[in-house]
Chains A and B, each alone.
With several copies, the nearest count.
Chain A
Amino acid sequence: MSSKTSEPQGPTSGDSDGKTDLKPTTEIDDVAIRFAGDSGDGMQLTGTKFTDETAMAGNDLSTFPDFPAEIRAPAGTMAGVSGFQIHFSSHDIHTPADRVDLLIAFNPAALRANLEDVRSQGMVVINSDAFTQKALTRAGYEEDPREELKTRYALVEIPLTRLNREALQGLSLSQREADRCKNFFALGLLCWLYCRPTEATERWLAGKFKGDVLQANLTTLRAGFAFGETTELFPVHYTIPSAKIEAGTYRNITGNSALAWGILAAGKQLSMPVFLGAYPITPASDVLHEVSRHHEFGIKTFQAEDEMAAVSSTIGAAFAGQLGVTISSGPGFILKQEALGLAVMVELPLVAINVQRAGPATGSPTKTEQGDLLAVLFGRHSQSPVPVLAASTPGDCFHIVLEAFHIATKYMTPVVVLSDGYLANSAEPWKIPDVDSLPRSTVNFAGRETMGADTEFEPYRRDPATLARPWAIPGTPGLEHRIGGLTKEDISGNVVYTAENHQRMVDLRAAKVARIAEDIPPLEVEGPDSGELLVIGWGGTRGAITAAVESAREDGLSVSQAYIRHLNPFPSNLKEVLTSFKHVLCPELNEGQLAMLLRSRFLVDVQSFSKVAGQPFKVQEIRERIDSFLTEKS
């Protein structure tokens, strides 16, 4: 964090209300802050609003919400703490940051649960009203930590509850209602501190609330801003110049919204109706919610009774000629494996999305992990190959769904898309793609006209180029036929159990999926094409890997990185890439699943760097591993 301080300037808020800035501003280029409070304190909302303001201010940013599995875990306890971290910067950033420069803690439990992530001498803002003896005990503090804290952090105590109540005096709200607004006081204060505009939040409030509640929120937001300006507690405030980003129109997007919009976009881009069958599960449910809000896209959403029905109905819809998509998370995804195996056998197109979470079993549903790679590849009985793609950033979730549908319909196959809990809820500024530039394709259903008058329809006669079988949908006269899960005869699709046919169909299914490699762009290496160390990853760890590798390269180390979006089939140049480096390191939030695939396929000594703690990688962890690795090996 580099900084330069300057004298008081004009208004930084977009409002031209003539406010003048009374304090000096310091220019810094990179900040990470975290909001933390009870699940009921509105931390996720506050964080999201600050994120929007920050985006509008033109910074690059990355966020990380972290909340408990309970709806509203017991107030004041460690288990009930909800956090929202945002990292923003005047340059390109890749992660929500390992440590925060500022923590704002609404109660002692929030302080205790988050303190260790504050950088040394970082700022810790607390709601001093919440530091009662009872609350301290509830948080598990044996004594008041504040004195001790001052030695290690810049502690700022603010009587947030009282200030908020005072700001709202005169409005006809109950005290409880008033107290619920205090997060907006804090938001106002932080907007002042980092010279963010508050416009977008005010607009959002106006759209969301009316009457006294609207008034209260606006009032306390502004009061918080004003408090920053006047209080002695903050001698300076900060500007973060806008980042140099590619020209274009941007918005913030989370992985889950991007998946939902990708699904809606797929219908448009393939000019076909979409059917989404799903059963709610954290952290995938929001995709169902978001899609359900947009029936005007002609999409049908079906909340099934369970995951088996979710995937089965989706396959049924695909059979009937629609773009089927189903979404779940690990525990639900594995319940779909039997039906996905049927989809492999009957060769119907379909996209199955798995937003991975931390396990095993119910595990930690709101935490992230990359534990399901082998399960999606190999979790069906017998040889049952499916293409697998993994998204690497929130915005990528949009494009990957489109790509998955393209593959599914071109090759007549179910396709699995992997996301994870971190991507699902994290936000990043996303350059909105030009709709006209998005890939389009047309699906050709089989029709009687393509056949001779007396020929029998052959549901397993393949396109020689793609090995896809024809998609003949009910309602098409003359193509009546039967499909099913029993071993199919090549070409005719009849049921047969002969050995040669069994082998042939196994081979054909494998060959078809392998052939998709022809549509996959070669793996790109970031950094030199060869050298000492390649760090290779997949999915949502991309940001952390990029940041770590870039920093290592800045320090003169011979390190490059690559990330695999297509996990089955692999990009065709993968072997070449791997063998161009002396060493390969593979950081994963699992026990080395991609590493295992690479080792077995290419007999390259890929070293796994594994973390399975329900949390994303910190940049520093990867950087240290790179350093220690290079030291060991040299």
Chain B
Amino acid sequence: MAAEVAPKLTRKDFVADQEVRWCPGCGDYSILANVQRVMPELGVPRENIVFISGIGCSSRFPYYMDTYGFHTIHGRAPAFATGAKAANPNLSVWVVTGDGDGLSIGGNHLLHTIRRNLDIQILLFNNQVYGLTKGQYSPTSALGMRSKSSPQGSIDHPVDPISYALGCGATFVARTIDVDAKHMQQVLKRAHDHKGTSFIEILQNCPVFNDGIWEDVEDRKTRAKNTLVLEHGEPLVFGSEGERKGILMQDGRPQVIDLADDDDPKERGVVIHDEKLETPSYASALATLTRPDFPLPVGVIREVEKTCYEELLEDQIKEAVDQKGAGDLHALLHSGDTWTVS
């Protein structure tokens, strides 16, 4: 664990001297601001923080953070992060990736990093498009999306990042929205506190190539109606006063009911959110709620405990040293059969 001796830092300490090169209005700006705001609150010395990314607009992120940063190659950021974290478990390692970088070319590394459960954070900016290469559909784009490479509409069924992470055995899975500063900061802190790989899907608007896909949950006017804000131990209730609704599960099938403002959701049978369930089937039910019939769940969907790879790796060294003593090169070279010529 990083020693907590750093003088109190502020957001500014995390702003790098590089000009930010995203398009005007890009959702990445707001994510950057929120990450910079959260950093001082983590109690991690700045020099121990590392941002690692792949390739994409989103993956330019590390250049703008005044921490250690590594802008790597397309799709492989989780593998670079694995090496860095395994090498030095004291580091606070943050992976930034996009829906293309993380889920198209990089899907395999996401799988294996998640299942190994290193104590790192993975932020996947989902704008449902390849921004940097100027607007092709991505693995999260909706069926039928017209883009430069799909002028007649995409014919690929999209993958849902949350379901995918769950299928990979993720111990921490969450979702938040580029423009919802407070919520994002909460989620980022929770991710940092989680011991294990934290996977966060951040819905991000790309005004240039895919404007408005998240509008219903980004717009303050419609957000309450269209999002289900998850809180551990609280009922699955959404909507605003006068239009509250709750979610039941009937034989594993979710269902929306209307709630009067003075209803006790629990009594009405509304499901109580439980992040800690061992079996991921509840989380996977949440993951598949789709609008317009259901609201979009945001917040921490699942958090469970499992051993972390980098700790077990260090343990192996300790165990080996305990059993055999610290490595002795001379002894190694002379192990087994040797003979001496004089």
Assess A/B contact in the complex (Cβ within 8 A): yes
A175 to B61, CA, bound (A): 32
Residue B133 is within 8 A (CB to CB) of chain A in the complex: yes
How many of chain A's residues have a CB under 8 angstroms from any CB in B? 98
List 17 A-B residue pairs with CB atoms under 8 Å apart, sorted by A's residue number.
Answer: A70-B22, A71-B208, A248-B340, A264-B327, A294-B332, A295-B316, A297-B332, A303-B150, A305-B104, A312-B79, A313-B82, A316-B52, A319-B84, A362-B71, A432-B334, A475-B48, A485-B71
A325 to B149, CA, bound (A): 16
Asked if A484 and B63 make an inter-chain contact with CB atoms under 8 angstroms apart, the answer reads: yes
Asked if B327 and A297 make an inter-chain contact with CB atoms under 8 angstroms apart, the answer reads: yes
B134 to chain A, nearest CB (A): 7
Q: Across the two chains, which residue of chain B brings its CB closest to A253?
A: B333
Residue A453 is within 8 A (CB to CB) of chain B in the complex: no
Q: Across the two chains, which residue of chain A brings its CB closest to B59?
A: A484
Query: What would 11 more interface pairs be, CB under 8 Å, given A249-B339, A288-B149?
Result: A52-B337, A69-B132, A71-B208, A264-B329, A280-B133, A306-B75, A306-B105, A313-B82, A316-B87, A319-B83, A474-B49
Asked if B136 and A308 make an inter-chain contact with CB atoms under 8 angstroms apart, the answer reads: no
- Give residues 287-325 of B contacting A (CB, 8 Å): 313, 316-317, 319-321, 323-325
Mask, A254-267, CB within 8 Å of B = 1, is 00000001001101
Surface stretch bound by B, among A125-133, A225-233, A271-279, A607-615:
A271-279
CB-contact partner of B47 in A314, A316, A479, under 8 A:
A479
Given contacts A292-B151, A320-B83, contact A250 B62 (CB under 8 A): no
A73 to B319, CA, bound (A): 38
Asked if B320 and A275 make an inter-chain contact with CB atoms under 8 angstroms apart, the answer reads: no
Given contacts A313-B86, A435-B329, contact A71 B91 (CB under 8 A): no
How many of chain B's residues have a CB under 8 angstroms from any CB in A? 90
Asked if A315 and B80 make an inter-chain contact with CB atoms under 8 angstroms apart, the answer reads: yes
Q: Across the two chains, which residue of chain A brings its CB closest to B109?
A: A309
A298 to B55, CA, bound (A): 33
Residues of B close to A89: CB separation below 8 A: none
Residue B20 is within 8 A (CB to CB) of chain A in the complex: yes
A3 to B329, CA, bound (A): 41
SS of A interface (majority): mixed
Residue A339 is within 8 A (CB to CB) of chain B in the complex: yes
Residue B220 is within 8 A (CB to CB) of chain A in the complex: no
Asked if B83 and A264 make an inter-chain contact with CB atoms under 8 angstroms apart, the answer reads: no
Asked if A298 and B317 make an inter-chain contact with CB atoms under 8 angstroms apart, the answer reads: yes
Most chain A beta carbons < 10 A, residue from B17, B57, B88? B88
A303 to B152, CA, bound (A): 13
A167 to B83, CA, bound (A): 55
Residues of A close to B47: CB separation below 8 A: 474-480
Residue A289 is within 8 A (CB to CB) of chain B in the complex: yes
Given contacts A249-B338, A309-B79, A477-B45, contact A317 B148 (CB under 8 A): no
Residue B1 is within 8 A (CB to CB) of chain A in the complex: no
CB-contact partner of A480 in B22, B67, B80, B340, under 8 A:
B67
Total A-B pairs, Cβ < 8 A: 290
Residues of B close to A490: CB separation below 8 A: none
B12 to chain A, nearest CB (A): 13
Residue A552 is within 8 A (CB to CB) of chain B in the complex: no
Given contacts A474-B48, A478-B47, contact A289 B80 (CB under 8 A): no
Residue B196 is within 8 A (CB to CB) of chain A in the complex: no
- Give residues 122-153 of B contacting A (CB, 8 Å): 130-134, 136-137, 139, 148-152
Asked if B69 and A339 make an inter-chain contact with CB atoms under 8 angstroms apart, the answer reads: no
A197 to chain B, nearest CB (A): 11
Asked if A316 and B84 make an inter-chain contact with CB atoms under 8 angstroms apart, the answer reads: yes
Q: Across the two chains, which residue of chain A brings its CB closest to B77?
A: A312
Asked if A282 and B88 make an inter-chain contact with CB atoms under 8 angstroms apart, the answer reads: no
Asked if A300 and B86 make an inter-chain contact with CB atoms under 8 angstroms apart, the answer reads: yes
A276 to chain B, nearest CB (A): 10
Residue A520 is within 8 A (CB to CB) of chain B in the complex: no
CB-contact partner of B326 in A52, A261, A298, A312, under 8 A:
A298
Residue B76 is within 8 A (CB to CB) of chain A in the complex: yes
Asked if B73 and A331 make an inter-chain contact with CB atoms under 8 angstroms apart, the answer reads: yes
Surface stretch bound by B, among A74-82, A91-99, A505-513, A524-532:
A74-82
Residues of B close to A314: CB separation below 8 A: 83
CB-contact partner of A482 in B57, B70, B73, B324, under 8 A:
B70
B100 to chain A, nearest CB (A): 8
Q: Across the two chains, which residue of chain A brings its CB closest to B13?
A: A480
Residue A499 is within 8 A (CB to CB) of chain B in the complex: no
CB-contact partner of A317 in B17, B86, B156, B329, under 8 A:
B86
- Give residues 1-30 of B contacting A (CB, 8 Å): 16-24
Asked if A304 and B336 make an inter-chain contact with CB atoms under 8 angstroms apart, the answer reads: no
Residues of B close to A384: CB separation below 8 A: none
Asked if A251 and B334 make an inter-chain contact with CB atoms under 8 angstroms apart, the answer reads: yes
B62 to chain A, nearest CB (A): 5
A361 to B71, CA, bound (A): 11
